[in-house]
Amino acid sequence: MSSIKKPRIGIYAGTFNPVHTGHITFALQALQVAKLDEIYFLPERRPRNKQGIEHFAHRVAMLKQASLPHPQFHVMELTDVSFSIGNTLPKLQQNLPDSQLVFLFGSDVVPDLPKWPYVARLLQSSELVIGLRQQDDAETIKNQIENWQTQPKALSIFTSFAPTVSSSKVRTALQHRTQAQGLLASVQRYSNHHWLYVSVA
């Protein structure tokens, strides 16, 4: 009797302030590279060490609009203030039972990830997909991960199609009603309608 294949579910946590083409293309690449069935964007209500974040409801609305063209994309709203392994991982496992969770991270997270509380719990149960930022290369990131005390169940590393896109540049463009690399049309329409980011420094 053949075993039932577990759905492969990508989890992409972040601020998404606002979502841009870098986020969307990274998720689309992860679908293919890691052979994912679905991806859940997990916007943080109050991200750590970040100030001047747009209201959670607006960031969620923009994420939902950006996800509409992609039926495998979903937005999950958890009550957690910010992502943490101790609180968030059990909720994800409860909400997505009998699934293989695959966490999507930018390579800038790699140096600090082994310092996270309960990181062994995450790595032992989950796979990782790492999107390379502009300043990083695959060999260096792979070597760093190989030195971790606990190894992920599986690992995929690839170069993002849009490594130079940043939310800060997009916010500045929205403030000045100009264009910027990575600005999604749906985000521009929503932001202009609700007068978001007008006070960006």
Residue 1 has pLDDT above 50, yes or no: no
* 45: in domain: yes
Range of the domain at 56: 8-164
CA distances from 147 to 114, 141, 144, 151, 175 (A): 10, 10, 5, 9, 43
Give the SS3 label for residue 74.
strand
Whether 106 and 133 have beta carbons less than 8 Å apart is answered as yes
Integer Cα distance of 163 and 15 in angstroms: 17
* 65: in domain: yes
Which two three-digit tokens encode residue 84? Answer: 């943490």
Q: What is the pLDDT of residue 31?
A: 97
Give the SS3 label for residue 42.
strand
Q: How many other C-beta atoms are found inside a 10 Å radius of the C-beta of residue 142?
A: 13
Whether 33 and 138 have beta carbons less than 8 Å apart is answered as no
Q: What is the pLDDT of residue 133?
A: 84
Q: What is the pLDDT of residue 90?
A: 96
Q: How high does pLDDT run on average in the chain?
A: 93
* 103: in domain: yes
Q: Looking at residues 156-179, what average pLDDT do you find?
A: 91
For the segment 9-46, what is each residue's pLDDT rounded down to a tens digit? 999 999 999 999 999 999 999 999 999 999 999 999 98
Q: What is the pLDDT of residue 50?
A: 82
CATH number where 98 lies: 3.40.50.620
Q: Looking at residues 173-188, what average pLDDT do you find?
A: 94
Half-sphere exposure of 72 (CA within 13 A, CB side): 18
* 89: in domain: yes
Percent of the chain with pLDDT over 70: 98
* 193: in domain: no
* 200: in domain: no
**Residues written for the chain:** 201
Integer Cα distance of 195 and 58 in angstroms: 11
Backbone phi, then psi, for 70, in 5-degree steps? -120, 100
How many separate domains does the chain show?
Answer: 1
Whether 127 and 99 have beta carbons less than 8 Å apart is answered as no
Whether 166 and 22 have beta carbons less than 8 Å apart is answered as yes
Q: What is the pLDDT of residue 3?
A: 63
Q: Looking at residues 115-141, what average pLDDT do you find?
A: 94
Residue 201 has pLDDT above 80, yes or no: no
- What is the pTM for the complete model shown? 0.94
For the segment 84-111, what is each residue's pLDDT rounded down to a tens digit? 999 999 999 999 999 999 999 999 999 9
Of the two residues 188 and 164, the one the predictor is more confident about is 188
Q: What is the pLDDT of residue 200?
A: 59
